[in-house]
Amino acid sequence: MLPKLGLSEDSVRRCRSLARDVADGVRRETELFTTVSTERSVLRLLGVEGVDSEEVPIANRAVEALAAAQKLARGVAVWLGSALAAGDADPQRAAQRMTDLREASAIREHPRWREALSPFVESALARIRDNRKERERRIAGHAPEELPLLYAIVATGNIYEDIVQAEAAARAGAQCIAVIRSTAQSLLDYVPFGATTAGFGGTFATQENFRLMRRALDALEEELGRYVRLVNYCSGLCMPEIAAMGALERLDLMLNDALYGILFRDINPLRTLVDQNFSRRINAAAGVVINTGEDNYLTTADAVEEAPAVLASQFLNERLALDAGLERWQIGLGHAFEIDPGLEDGLLFELAQAQMAREIFPDCPLKYMPPTKHMTGNVFRGYQQNALFALTSVATGQSIHLLGMLTEALHTPLLQDRWLSIDQARAIRKNARHLAEEIEFRPNGRIIARAREVLEGAERILERIARAGLFQALADGVFAQTSRPRDRGRGAEGVLRRAEDYSNPFLEVWAGQAAGAAR
Amino acid sequence: MSMRVPDPSRLRPYGDRLGDGVVQLSFTLPLPRSSATVAAARRYAEKMGIRDPYVTLAEAIAPDFTFFIVYGKSTHEVDATLPVAEEAADTALTREQIDAEIERRFHRRLVVLGCALESDAHTVGLDAIFNPKGFAGDSGLERYQGLDARNLGAQVSVEHLVRLARDAHADAILVSATVTQNEIHIRHLTDLVDMLEAERLRDAIVLVAGGARVDHALAKELGYDAGFGPGTSPSRVAAFLLEELSRRIAASAREAR
């Protein structure tokens, strides 16, 4: 699509350069640390599964025991490799043994721990590669997909009921199925185990639930003549573990924002920024498309005022994602249609924002979120807002369209709510198919002026963040009017300084990072 | 031709003439679309008291589900003169008036805590009441001079909230509750009442619940002082807090005499 807004290339370049400064500062601070969740992810990638008699995952128990034995700063891989070299048959058994504090304390570094661990690292990498190839093969086997991809949510709390709803949505035309997580899960410091049938406002993300839904969607592929993408939420205290599970079970999209957990869940900033890096490394290797969460700035404050913060965050998320090895086609930057529908020319502002994001990030698959804040219970008005949202989405070439529900804010979607939404979005996508190619904007008109104003605002915010550094900016409350000091927040106790000879074999492969704390 | 006047004791919905009882409804039957399913939908509407149901849409929205839109004439009547459930007192005061009254009556700022409890992660309603920006042009509680309003956000545990309320000498707690599955919000709302009572804090604090599916009757039943449903403005909540706290001071002054 040709640029239509005449945005200042200098401004965009300057925003990218400021975002790079910010990201460099983040890397300098975070690469000195690891977290319990990052270490648990290493175990999960190596195939450690299951829970003990108290339903606590083996990965948690082993990491806790190694931490208590003052050994975790070297990285869990060193000890797992040593246990294997000393005779344990596989990572599962080695991890199981390490859950015992005496065993964890007694274990000594084995000189050949790397060799012993290497086949298991290789087999994890191979499984991730194979999943990625399989996705590519499956997608290539069908006609090109219609864009924007229609993204539907299921949220029954019961994975088996979710499958019924997901099948119905996919048959109706949904191309991405997201299983919303149980509301409390982002704050759990472990990943629940097995198939689950009871959740609150959603369904627990577990490896078995991933597997069940993946199998159900794959089973539809032949009937529908297309591949149905599976989405989950790689955020919260277990961000990288969910990424690991997703990579092993071939999830296609992952919500994976660098700052969301800090701002909206009060998770410790250091913990989140260490974890986002490793989770994105995993997603990068798995060929997953991440979705960032800028829509949240708009739902919690005024959407017109917060527009520059959205763009600033998109620049930061882009840079942090690139630094974690993701390619631009994998970086689904978020934004939302949340301006008060009563505002004069509000739709013009929405068009400006959506078109601006498209032009500034031409190679990123933009993830466009529906109206939620101004949905009132008047379902007819809600359906109208969703229609304007769908039209804006098509008119500005958005890539992933999260379907708006006419009953938003009333209840979790009924089967018919979802169908109505898919039907609406498909009709508008077809009815306005080439609208984006036909539209130009009046030079110095309202839409162009608005886009320029937002870009200038974003540049000012980025200047402020770059001056302070991201951690200080978070403490100062630059984002979402919320102050998040570096050492406060949930999960802070799970952050630990890496030893000089720390090792994470997956990071070493994906980041080409040598062992040790800092460069 | 004379204008007919509705009889509130024998009321019916109005479509395009008085007493026609016209309603629109939509629902899904878990059966594949067939003439038998359509007939079943029509009979289902009849069982709901709808005369001459007109099925305007019967769409197979999934292999085993059919979605219906039905129009028809309801045969039921309702007595609209019956007494209604009590609503929280509604005083129309502006922010400036409320601030001035707080200063005049209390000579201090009132401490108001707000949050969503436990697993509840929804903050749209809570933010609309607390954030300075407010809701539909009505400023949020954080903008009130007379209020020390603290939005604690979502997923706050009952225990943590009660501890904060004690430490901050809270005058009021506003709980935002979003209905999710399994009525979990009810349990969290009652847990809070129980714990405040156990800690002997209940009488010192005005307790208010709000949310899309909360109303005054439900809140009262759960042991709250008031409940506010969707569309409630921050100033309405602030006015209620002002009046309720004033009433308590007056009541305790009477007791002291």
A406: closest CA among A431, A367, A372, A429?
A372
Per-residue pLDDT of B140-154, as tens digits, reads: 898 899 999 998 888
Integer Cα distance of A196 and A157 in angstroms: 8
Q: Which residues of A touch B182 (CB under 8 A)?
A: 157, 198, 200
| DSSP 8-state secondary structure symbol assigned to residue A339 | S
Q: A225 vs A263, which has greater pLDDT?
A: A225
Name B138's bridge partners. B135
A41 close to A243: Cβ distance less than 8 angstroms: yes
Nearest to A200 among B127, B133, B184 (CB): B184
Asked if A251 and A232 touch (Cβ cutoff 8 Å), the reply is yes
Specify the DSSP element, H or E, that contains B142: none
Q: Do B179 and A411 touch (CB under 8 A)?
A: yes
B chain contacts of residue A161, beta-carbon cutoff 8 Å: none
Tokens of A274: 């260490």
Amino acid residing at B116: A
Assigned token pair, A150: 């229609």
* pLDDT tier at B2, thresholds 50, 70, 90: low
Please name which of A286, A226, A227, A228 lies closest in space to residue A254, comparing C-alpha atoms.
Answer: A286
A477 touches chain B (CB under 8 A): no
Nearest CA in chain B to A156: B181
Partner residues linked to A289 by β-bridges: A253
Identify the closest residue of chain A to B68 by CA–CA distance: A416
Catalytic status, residue A367: yes
Are residues A157 and B182, on separate chains, in Cβ contact within 8 Å? yes
Top pLDDT among B67 and A263 is at: B67
User: Contact A300/B123, CB-based, under 8 Å?
Assistant: yes
Is residue B1's pLDDT more than 60? no
CB B248 within 8 A of CB B172: no
Contact residues, chain B, for A265 at CB < 8 Å:
155
- Please state, in angstroms and rounded to a whole number, the distance separating the CA atoms of residues A319 and A310: 14
The span from the CA of A457 to the CA of A434, in Å, is 31
- Other Cβ atoms less than 10 A from the Cβ of A255: the count is 21
CB contact under 8 A, B230 and A376: yes
At A513, is the pLDDT very low, low, confident or very high (cuts 50, 70, 90)? Answer: low
| Average pLDDT for A253-264 | 92
Q: Is the bond into A505 cis (omega within 30 degrees of 0)?
A: no
Instruction: For the sheet with A331-332, list strands across it.
Output: A331-332, A289-291, A253-255, A229-233, A176-179, A149-154, A400-402, A367-369, A334-336
Question: B35 at the A interface (CB within 8 A)?
Answer: no
Catalytic residue (choose from A88, A162, A275, A295)? A295
Say yes or no for a CB contact (<8 Å) between A416 and B119.
Answer: no
Q: Which residues from chain B sit within 8 angstroms of residue A192, using beta carbons?
A: none
User: Is B184 near chain A, with CB under 8 Å?
Assistant: yes
Determine whether the interchain pair B121/A184 forms a contact, defined as Cβ–Cβ distance below 8 Å.
yes
pTM for the model: 0.85
Q: What token pair was written down for A174?
A: 């949904």
Q: Return the higher-pLDDT residue of A52 and B153.
A: A52
For B183-231, give the secondary structure using H, E and C. Answer: HHHHHHHHHHHHHHHHCCCHHHCEEEEECCCCCHHHHHHCCCCEEECCC
Are A98 and A107 a contacting pair, CB within 8 Å? yes
| Euclidean distance between CA atoms B207 and B88, whole angstroms | 12
Interface contact A419-B61, CB threshold 8 A: yes
**pLDDT value, residue B257:** 63
The verdict on a CB contact (< 8 Å) between B181 and A412 is yes
* Chain B contact for A424 (CB, 8 A cutoff): no
Minimal C-alpha gap between A275 and chain B (Å): 21
Enumerate the residues of chain B whose CB falls inside 8 A of the CB of residue A410. Answer: 212
- pLDDT confidence tier of residue A226, bands split at 50, 70 and 90: very high
DSSP string for A477-511: T-STT----TT-SBTGGGEEEPPTT---HHHHHHH
Enter the tokens of residue A106.
């007694």
Closest CA–CA distance from residue A184 to any residue of chain B (Å) = 5
| A87-126 confidence digits (pLDDT tens) | 999 999 999 999 999 999 999 999 999 999 999 999 999 9
* Burial of A493 from C-beta contacts in 10 A (0-12 / 13-18 / 19+): exposed
Q: Look at A56-60, B12-16, B121-125 and tell me which has the smallest mean pLDDT.
A: B121-125
Q: Does A414 touch chain B (CB under 8 A)?
A: yes
- Name the B residues in 52-91 with CB < 8 Å from any A CB: 59, 61-63, 65, 67
Q: What residue has token string 């506010």?
A: B228
For the annotated catalytic residues of B, the residue numbers are: 133
Residues A51 and A124 sit within 8 Å (Cβ to Cβ):
no
ipTM for the assembly: 0.86
Q: Residue B167 in 3-state DSSP?
A: helix
Which tens digit of pLDDT belongs to each residue from A374-399? 988 899 999 999 999 999 999 999 99
| Least confident window among A125-134, A322-331, B234-243 | B234-243
What phi and psi, each to the nearest 5 degrees, are found at residue A452? -65, -40
Distance from CA of A36 to the nearest CA of B (A): 22
Q: Of A400, A398, A375, whose CA–CA distance to A385 is shortest? A: A375
Please give the distance of CA A234 from its chain centroid, rounded to a whole number.
5
> CA torsion sign, B192 to B197 to B198 to B200?
positive
Q: What digits encode the pLDDT tens for the residues B79-126?
A: 999 887 666 666 678 899 999 999 999 999 999 999 998 877 777 788
Query: CA of B179: which chain A residue's CA is closest?
Result: A411
A interface test, pick of B119, B135, B143 with most A CB neighbours within 10 Å: B119
In chain A, residues with a C-beta closer than 8 Å to the C-beta of B26 are 416
Q: Inform me whether the C-beta atom of residue A106 falls under 8 Å from chain B C-beta atoms.
A: no
Query: In the predicted model, what is the mean pLDDT of residues A147-169?
Result: 95
Task: Name every chain A residue with its beta carbon within 8 A of the beta carbon of B59.
Answer: 419
Residues in chain B: 257
Interface test with A, best of B27, B28, B61, B215 (most A CBs within 10 A): B61
A187 at B interface, C-beta within 8 A: yes
DSSP annotation of A104 reads H
Contact A409 B124 (CB under 8 A): yes
Chain A, residues 226-265, CB within 8 A of chain B, namely: 264-265
Q: Which residues of B touch A295 (CB under 8 A)?
A: none
- CB B27 to CB A416 under 8 A? yes
Kind of pairing between the strands at A229-233 and A176-179: parallel
Residues of B in contact with A236 (CB under 8 A): none
Helix A269-286 vs helix A9-30: crossing angle, to nearest 10: 110
- Amino acid letter, residue A30: T
Asked if B235 and B98 touch (Cβ cutoff 8 Å), the reply is: yes
Tokens describing residue A326: 């993701």
User: What does the pLDDT read at residue B87?
Assistant: 67
For the segment A23-43, the average pLDDT, to the nearest whole number, is 97
Q: Cβ–Cβ of A183/B120 closer than 8 Å? A: yes
Partner residue opposite B62 with nearest CB, options A186, A415, A481: A415
A201–B123 C-beta distance less than 8 A: no
* A224 contact B CB<8A: no
The percent of residues above 70 in pLDDT, for chain A, comes to 98
Beta strands in A2-62 (DSSP E): 33-35
Q: How many CA atoms, within 13 angstroms, populate the side-chain half-sphere of residue A478?
A: 24
Could you tell me how many helices (H) and strands (E) chain B has, helices first? 7, 8
Chain B hits for A411, CB-CB cut-off 8 Å, are 179
HEC states along A453-486? Answer: HHHHHHHHHHHHHHHHCHHHHHHHCCCCCCCCCC
Rounded to an integer, the average pLDDT of A435-455 is 96
Q: Name the CA radius of gyration of chain A, rounded.
A: 23
- Rounded to whole angstroms, how far apart are CA atoms B179 and B191? 16
